[in-house]
Structure 1
């Protein structure tokens, strides 16, 4: 049985629901696994009533959510605590969540198109975050050099630590490229 051990709500969704951030008491420890390789520091915790079903057969339970300030394509992530509280069983193959209700089984589901769209948005968002972090890291590692005014436009001069490598050692011994041998590990 997999899944998150936390219920997660995004601050922008609380704002859209009209819930003031002053209602969010601070939370303690950071958690991992939401953004690969990164820790997330929650803004706080909030208890919210969550309802599944329709007017003829529904259940409402109060769930505790960790509130995070970053963006995702989801409204919230329900973890194992919510499944246990609702006594719900999820089936990822059929995109269904089933739980007992006062008048029979309550079924919540989604469409494959909606899930696909959420995944596309999530991947695009993750790519944007990773690209911005890589850009910031590259910017920090590189220094701007003032161009030498003695160089002719379009001319190249080899740097220190250059090694000549044959392009194709079997067919052409005269075609070579120069490769920097002092590259950073990145």
Structure 2
């Protein structure tokens, strides 16, 4: 599955292996990019196929529209992001598993790491061959220059864009009686802004909470966090994408 593609793609070599009768193929005007930089790929046709996940005892099936790609690839087909919605499926790249709800329970589709690695290497090799055939030598030189320049620009970008507080701050007592209840204010604020901010904090000190004990009586219907897991199972943090 490919979250970056809006089309469901199937390759001509895959149809040949399936011994698919080409009389069912319709004309397609769809094009897409991503295989050869700067070049569009025009699909050679389109067709509707039944896609089934699961086993005979527990399965889900949908009719999906595929666009045919007139080139080779390390994969048999690529399913676009709309398929996730249609099947209400959850894909986890870290565990290489696809899960969706079937009529008799959860359907789990597991991938093979070795075959996935081989498919990725094959796709890369075929893309390089297609790139060398599609582009003239001068175009390859220009593309290489652009890639090198982009890498230099990216290397100069800051590694982190997270929020950074002001370098110099001063503690300001917000509570009229308790000196421990303070707020930090930047020392380089405009004098008018500084005065307005201090006045606002003093007038609204009672809406702030410094400790959980300052928030008694919050009803559970307002907000409540829960983990919907089976009792006895250890929670596992999902890997970042």
> TM class by shorter-chain length?
0.5 to 0.7
Shift of 1:79: 0.7
Q: Is the 8 A contact 2:74 2:123 kept in 1?
A: yes
Pick closer, same or farther for the CA change 1:130–1:33 going to 2, 3 Å.
Answer: closer
Q: Secondary structure of the residue that 1:71 maps to in structure 2?
A: coil
The answer to whether 1:55 aligns with 2:56 is yes
Greater RCO structure (CA 8 Å; 6+ sep): 1
Partner of 2:84: 83
| Structure 2 gaps, min length 5 | 139-241
Give the TM-score taking structure 2 as reference length.
0.53
Q: How many pairs align?
A: 138
**Distance of aligned partners of 1:105 and 1:77 in 2 relative to their CA distance in 1, 3 Å threshold:** same
Q: For residue 98 of structure 1, report the CA deviation from its aligned partner.
A: 0.8
Larger radius of gyration: 2
State the shift of 1:131 in Å.
Answer: 2.5
* 2:36–2:131 Cα contact (<8 Å) kept: no
Q: Provide Cα deviations, 1:96-135, integer angstroms capped at 9, x if missing partner.
A: 111110011111121221111111111111122223335x
| Distance across 2 between alignment mates of 1:31 and 1:133 | 15
SS in 1 for 2:120: helix
Alpha-carbon distance between aligned partners in 1 of 2:129 and 2:64, rounded to the nearest angstrom: 31
Find the residue that maps to 1:72 and give its secondary structure: coil
Q: Output the CA distance in 2 between the equivalents of 1:126 and 1:94.
A: 26
Q: Using a 3 Å threshold, how does the CA distance of structure 1 residues 26 and 125 change in structure 2: closer, same or farther?
A: same
Equivalent-residue separation in structure 2 for 1:45 and 1:31 (angstroms): 14
Residues 1:16 and 2:34 aligned together: no
Written as runs of structure 1 = structure 2, the 5 A alignment for 1:1-186 is 2-134=3-135, 137-138=136-137
Pick closer, same or farther for the CA change 1:34–1:85 going to 2, 3 Å: farther
- Structure 2 CA distance, aligned partners of 1:82 and 1:36? 26
Pairwise CA RMSD = 2.1
Q: Which deviations, in whole Å up to 9, do the C-alpha atoms of 1:139-169 show, x marking residues without a partner? A: 9xxxxxxxxxxxxxxxxxxxxxxxxxxxxxx
- Unpaired runs of at least 5, structure 1: 140-186
Structure 1 stretches of at least 4 aligned residues deviating more than 6 Å after TM superposition: none
| Aligned counterparts of 2:131 and 2:35: Cα–Cα separation in 1 | 14
Larger strand share, 1 or 2: 1
Q: Secondary structure at the match of 2:6?
A: coil
More helix, by proportion: 2
Provide the secondary structure at the position in 2 that maps to 1:64: strand
Q: Structure 1 stretch 73-82 or stretch 10-19: which is displaced more?
A: 10-19
